[in-house]
Structure 1
């Protein structure tokens, strides 16, 4: 049962996030320091080397202290199921934030599989690396500072340092700037990194929303993509509905 303090903190946290909307879009952080507080909370309350403990601790923090821009526990199950179906060896995540989804993903991977998470905010990237390392998954997940739409610098880095190349990617998770979903996916496709059977999961397609991305997947249904629209809710509550799209590349 939620304590009286947490019942006050959580709505205030949502209000702060709403007020800091422009800051989030511009910087990738809410602006009240909650991301650094989360790292301290993980180190204080999660078990080192236990990814499940880290995931549970972040979920608890987001429910009872400060809401976070994570895929969250409910939608995280959809991500888990997609990863288990795809059995990927090389994964790309766009939007590391504080490392929650990287830990959630990497904990399901076999030893030889690798996740590379691209994060535009260097401070977020540092926190995500620390969370991943604390979970004991630094050998499976790495964080790159950059963005796909930066004129090619990040994509060149991924190709040179992480062996991204023709038909290399088995799984992509989109959870960054929503207006970048479609152009970034097109850049990845143009580079030839996908292969028939590559799975792309996109969070927050309804809220905040990625309407051009959703329209594209519908227009390409049965041609370039086969997509399932999972009806769900915005993370850590059950009032605001959301969509997670799971798409299989047909080539």
Structure 2
């Protein structure tokens, strides 16, 4: 049985129509998605790539540089350009003032959201890894968005510590959150949404966007939305692809809270 590198070479030779970026996900993506930060230096290399190739304050340039790095050098857990466009459109439709992101990673989606949201809006992005949060803050600052985008180390399911920080330091409270982007641990999608609902932070008209609902999948979250369709939620399922390739299908769910 060939190792992953040998198998990749065989498949590239025998299946020329299969895009190599999709194959990279098949071979390496599951491990990356399990471990979060893979610890092989790719996140630090990404930061160095951005600093070396983009002018400070060029938000569009930072996004392009991250996309280029993810396609050409190392697989990243970014929402990517195809699904990123769906995220951009959802933010613009919502015209939110207060936004919450679950899963910062290196700050790519936070930068996309920051670019798309209204000028006076503010985003708080939550990341469990302190190392990733440090890199994300550096990239967000370089993109010129520090005054409107904050990165908080923590997680929703930590016995209320992160919730208290959001309430005390960022003024989250009943009915204050207009937009949520969920792109972290897939088995935490539904529990974290339920915690946010229980806190009362959403209001009728709040929008929740969830990535990777098909691949690697969040079936419980999708079922929750289906069961409440037209009653407490109204959901649009966007058919798309796993980031940085066009072979593996994925779903992005855009859900409006009806109250």
Do the two structures share a fold, i.e. TM-score over 0.5?
A: yes
1:126 maps to 134
Conservation of the 8 A alpha-carbon contact between 1:14 and 1:66: no
1:20 aligns with 2:28: no
1:55 and 2:63 aligned: yes
User: How far did 1:11 drift?
Assistant: 7.7
Deviations 1:197-220 (A, max 9, x none): 000000000001000000000001
Structure 1 residue 73 corresponds to structure 2 residue 81 = yes
What residue in structure 1 maps to residue 14 of structure 2?
none
Aligned: 1:185 with 2:196: no
Alignment of 1:156-175 (within 5 A): 156-175=164-183
214, 225, 250: which one pairs with 1:217?
225
Judge conservation of contact 1:10–1:65 (CA < 8 Å) in 2: no
Q: 1:191 to 1:19 in 2, by over 3 A?
A: closer
- TM-score normalised to structure 2 length: 0.89
Distance 1:11 1:180 in 2: 25
Report the Cα offset of residue 18 of structure 1.
3.7
Structure 1: gaps of 5 or more residues: 1-8
Structure 2 counterpart of 1:38: 46
1:232 alignment partner, SS class: strand
TM-score (norm 1): 0.92
Q: Cα offset for 1:15?
A: 6.8
1:206 aligns with 2:214: yes
**Corresponding residue of 1:137:** 145
Q: Deviations over 1:48-90 (max 9, x none)?
A: 1011000000001111111211000000010000000000000
- Per the TM alignment, residue 47 of structure 1 is displaced from its structure 2 partner at its CA by 1.9
Q: 1:11 to 1:165 in 2, by over 3 A?
A: closer
